[in-house]
Structure 1
Amino acid sequence: MNNNIKKELERIEIPKELHERSKLGVRIAKSEQPKRKLKKTIAIPLVASVILIFSVGVGAASIPSFNNLLSIVSPQIALMLQPIQISSEDDGIKMEVVAAMNDDEMAVIYVTIQDFTGNRIDKTLDIYDYSLTEGHMFNSQIVDYDETTNTATLRIQANGGESLNNKKIRFHIGSFLSHKQTFEEVEVNANLMEVKNNTPQTISLDMNNIPGGSGEIFGELKEQGTVQVLKPDETEHYLPKIEFMHISNLGFIDNRLHIQTKWTGDDIDSHGYIYFIDALGDKIHASNISFGIDKLGNTNYGTKYREYIFDVDNLDINELKLMGDFVSNGNHTTGNWNTTFKIQSVGEEKKVDFSKDFGTWMANSITVSPLGVTLYGNGEFNNSSKIVVNAKMNDGSVQTLDSMTSFSENEKVKVKFVPSLPLDSSKIESINIDGIEIDF
């Protein structure tokens, strides 16, 4: 793999659970991996394809912010970018949309945020409240911070739009977070064998009245409708240096270890997760549920409590170490930054019929563009699905499209697979989807 591409890909973190921040609707604060409420979506960061679509002309070369971006991203990705250079300023902070690239349904824009008057921006900057028209699902990632100019550069991805090509879109930022504190591999000292010998008090939780959750058994818990969680505030166990949360109860329910945490709510986006580490250093992640408590002690919709649940049937907890990673943000800066601009597609899409039953949904067509392969169909997408997609090129080489993003609503399913190397659609011989080959 080209070293520049490799470096670019290494910047993109693809966590095991929902670690990536997705933005849409109302944010779930104090969550394990904070996210805006989405309608049945999975977000995995865009891995940019590499193909010469745009040439950078004299006008673009004279744009300082665009030139700076070219020094940050790989040269191959720079060739795909469309210069934008549209900015908005509020209270001494300037937000500029520097460049963008897209196909009909996926857009990536590069944005800079610069503070001229204060110290409200740092390398931990994360957009908290933002929106982009013509898209269903968003995520952002800081890719560079220039301490000298107090400027952060971010990559914003939007998925699920319809016919983005040549569309005028509006990008808005309402607030951002900065000066975060990160606490990693915090040891959670608890005598789990003693806990296992005690029967905890529990209360009922309506899984249809919670802001969210994640993990392998979350779907199973959701299907049950009503589940039992630990009675809150039976203990008050603080972790070293962690002031924004504490353990409020521990216990075993139906042979599953429940660890309940209570969050202070003093900062807007504190979050974290608890996990086991085995003898090999591998992490065993928990599922989790967020909820609140009313004045009578009954569960309700809220984020005050987060209960981490481990399925321990096949685990020897005596051989495992219980750990946690936590983050607390320091600043929450609000403002009103708005831009409107037009984007153009990186290349022509090819569409063909394709029929396959994936169990919970049926595919009926695919499209291929420089940014990847998209499946369209009807039904309900299964978040645990593993679909293997390859592109066979005319020279006999095979490219695996190993990153995925999906959108499912009103029984319409759209799943996009993105390659780690360019897809030159003029040189594709065939696309292979789960063993079914489609000739081009």
Structure 2
Amino acid sequence: MNNKVKQELERIEIPKELHMRAKLGVKKAKSEQPKRKFKKTVAIPLVASLFLIFSVGVGAATIPSFNNLLSIVNPKIALILQPIEISSEDDGIKMEVVAAMNDGEMAVIYVTMQDLTGNRIDETLDIYDYSLTKGHMFNSQIVDYDETTNTATLRVQANGGESLNNKKINFHISSFLSHKHKFEEVKVNANLMEAKNNIPKTIPLDMNNISGGGGEVFGELKEQGTVQVLKPDETDLYLPEIEFMHISNLGFINNRLHIQTKWQGDDIDSHGYFYFIDTSGNKIHASNIYFGVDKLGNTNYGNEYIEYIFDVDNLDINKLKLMGDFVSNGNHTIGNWNTTFKIQSINKEKSMDFNRDFGSWMAKRITVSPLGVTLYGNGEFNNSSEIVVSAKMNDGSVQTFDSMTSFSENEKVIAKFLSSLPLDISKIESINIDGIEIDF
């Protein structure tokens, strides 16, 4: 089973952008805002086969679409999913909810999209405008594409598990993207030393009137209230083959490198991110701010411009390579795919008090379910922090957690740590969180 899961993981590209996939995402950026009609927060993607824990009857194996799911994910995992098999068709495209599950915090559903009449679906499929009743923190990830049948299989995740338990919920897709193009490791030919020796023109930006942002210094900039950003459209630096955006200014403000980008007004969801690569091959990501500019050249609410900010105080920029990874829009298909079904919740769960100060937030409680470990607390989650979690089993083996989703709102924090295999709650001896062992 481990080899099968590993193979599935290797087939899936795990994006570097966490929380929101914006036009130029930053790893673990908290509140980047893409141009989407729905207001949801996208969290870190789950691993491929997602250890889904539901006991179903023997009859499930006779269901055609459920059988097909067995060939995509690990059969031992898929057999314990709750089969749904409810479909909706519009304009020759069929959407089917094949299987689903949820625990006290998270719901996951497997969905297929099939083009019955054309080739509007491919391996780059990304559902764009969608909703799940009473869910939040949405994330979707394609896990398989069958070229012979024009069918893509996706895994959709949403937090809010308790409110979904054994209730009728609605899953609805209004549009999706496909036929996107990737531009990876694009070299940015900018003279950073020349920029460092020049004083750039700047304009004020009200951090309370922006459409989004993220990264390590975003919180600091937010607290300042008003910050200086580069004056727009002082530069026209285009990157090879990138037609949907260009660098509109570049300079240093308060010893930080600012790279301002301007995006086409008709852009739907082209995205990517800038990064430095050091001599060891490590990536150094930036913080970012989204804003618009009015006819008078003053900043206002919008996302026409994105300013990327690198803290380079302790870096030798002469030894760094400035690069970018980007994805173009592709096709945008609009329709109406609508389904209603019930999800039954996993009952196996353990919870106890757990007090730990993580700096920007304080954990108060820990819950363990077959899906993973969840921390609940108060404060503001620091997206740049790395929290190491593992489970020691009764047989001495250790199960690691290699993916995480996090959510911060109204001073409440939820952080869920996920593993590529299900947790057998009855066989857990202890949970280790950043070196603190919790006896179960």
Q: How high is the TM-score relative to the length of structure 2?
A: 0.90
Question: Is 1:111 aligned to residue 104 of structure 2?
Answer: no
Structure 1 pair 384/283, CA: closer, same or farther in 2 (3 Å)? closer
Question: Is 1:318 aligned to residue 318 of structure 2?
Answer: yes
1:71-90 matched pairs, under 5 angstroms:
71-90=71-90
Partner of 2:349: 349
Q: What is the identity, as a one-letter code, of the residue corresponding to 1:45?
A: L
Structure 1 pair 214/420, CA: closer, same or farther in 2 (3 Å)? same
Asked if structure 2 preserves the Cα contact closer than 8 Å seen for 1:39 and 1:408, the reply is no
1:82-231 matched pairs, under 5 angstroms:
82-231=82-231
- Unpaired runs of 5+ residues, structure 2, are 27-32
- 1:163-189 Cα offsets, whole Å, 9 max, x none, are 433222110101111111111122221
- 1:293-329 Cα offsets, whole Å, 9 max, x none, are 0011000111111112222222222222222222111
Pairwise CA distance, 1:262: 0.9
In 1: Cα distance, 2:106 partner to 2:283 partner? 33
| SS of structure 2 residue aligned to 1:210 | coil
Partner of 1:284: 284
Q: Percent identity?
A: 79
Question: Is 1:270 aligned to residue 270 of structure 2?
Answer: yes
Partner of 1:368: 368
Pairwise CA distance, 1:250: 1.3
The correspondence for 1:32, drawn from 21, 25, 37, is 25
Q: Decide which moves more: 228-237 or 393-402.
A: 393-402
In 1: Cα distance, 2:52 partner to 2:204 partner? 54
Partner of 2:249: 249
Partner of 2:30: none
- 1:314-352 Cα offsets, whole Å, 9 max, x none, are 222222222222211121111111111111124422233
- 1:356-393 Cα offsets, whole Å, 9 max, x none, are 44444443333221111222333443334443333222
In 1: Cα distance, 2:245 partner to 2:52 partner? 47
Partner of 2:55: 54
Asked if structure 2 preserves the Cα contact closer than 8 Å seen for 1:54 and 1:346, the reply is no
In 1: Cα distance, 2:264 partner to 2:93 partner? 30
Asked if structure 1 preserves the Cα contact closer than 8 Å seen for 2:45 and 2:140, the reply is no
Asked if structure 1 preserves the Cα contact closer than 8 Å seen for 2:52 and 2:81, the reply is no
Asked if structure 1 preserves the Cα contact closer than 8 Å seen for 2:125 and 2:142, the reply is yes
Structure 1 pair 307/362, CA: closer, same or farther in 2 (3 Å)? closer
Pairwise CA distance, 1:435: 4.2
In 1: Cα distance, 2:251 partner to 2:324 partner? 17
Pairwise CA distance, 1:49: 5.9
Structure 1 pair 258/116, CA: closer, same or farther in 2 (3 Å)? same
Q: Decide which moves more: 239-248 or 316-325.
A: 316-325
Asked if structure 2 preserves the Cα contact closer than 8 Å seen for 1:46 and 1:157, the reply is no
Asked if structure 1 preserves the Cα contact closer than 8 Å seen for 2:41 and 2:136, the reply is no
Q: What is the identity, as a one-letter code, of the residue corresponding to 1:323?
A: M
| SS of structure 1 residue aligned to 2:222 | helix
Q: What is the identity, as a one-letter code, of the residue corresponding to 1:32?
A: G
Partner of 1:25: none
- 1:174-214 Cα offsets, whole Å, 9 max, x none, are 11111111111222212222222221100011112111122
| SS of structure 2 residue aligned to 1:109 | strand
Q: Decide which moves more: 354-363 or 37-46.
A: 37-46
Asked if structure 2 preserves the Cα contact closer than 8 Å seen for 1:105 and 1:164, the reply is no
Asked if structure 1 preserves the Cα contact closer than 8 Å seen for 2:405 and 2:416, the reply is yes
- 1:122-147 Cα offsets, whole Å, 9 max, x none, are 11111110011132211001111112
Partner of 2:293: 293
Partner of 1:43: 44
Asked if structure 1 preserves the Cα contact closer than 8 Å seen for 2:215 and 2:287, the reply is yes
Q: What is the identity, as a one-letter code, of the residue corresponding to 1:297?
A: G
- 1:33-80 Cα offsets, whole Å, 9 max, x none, are 66468788853425656487424523x233222111111111232133
| SS of structure 2 residue aligned to 1:162 | helix
In 2: Cα distance, 1:409 partner to 1:256 partner? 29
- 1:203-243 Cα offsets, whole Å, 9 max, x none, are 01111211112222222222222111111111212222211
1:418-433 matched pairs, under 5 angstroms:
418-433=418-433
Structure 1 pair 355/262, CA: closer, same or farther in 2 (3 Å)? closer
In 1: Cα distance, 2:40 partner to 2:409 partner? 7
1:383-394 matched pairs, under 5 angstroms:
383-394=383-394
In 1: Cα distance, 2:374 partner to 2:137 partner? 16
Asked if structure 2 preserves the Cα contact closer than 8 Å seen for 1:102 and 1:108, the reply is yes
Asked if structure 2 preserves the Cα contact closer than 8 Å seen for 1:135 and 1:162, the reply is no
Question: Is 1:401 aligned to residue 401 of structure 2?
Answer: yes
- Unpaired runs of 5+ residues, structure 1, are 23-27
Q: What is the identity, as a one-letter code, of the residue corresponding to 2:207?
A: M
- 1:226-280 Cα offsets, whole Å, 9 max, x none, are 1111111112122222111111111111121111111112331112222222333
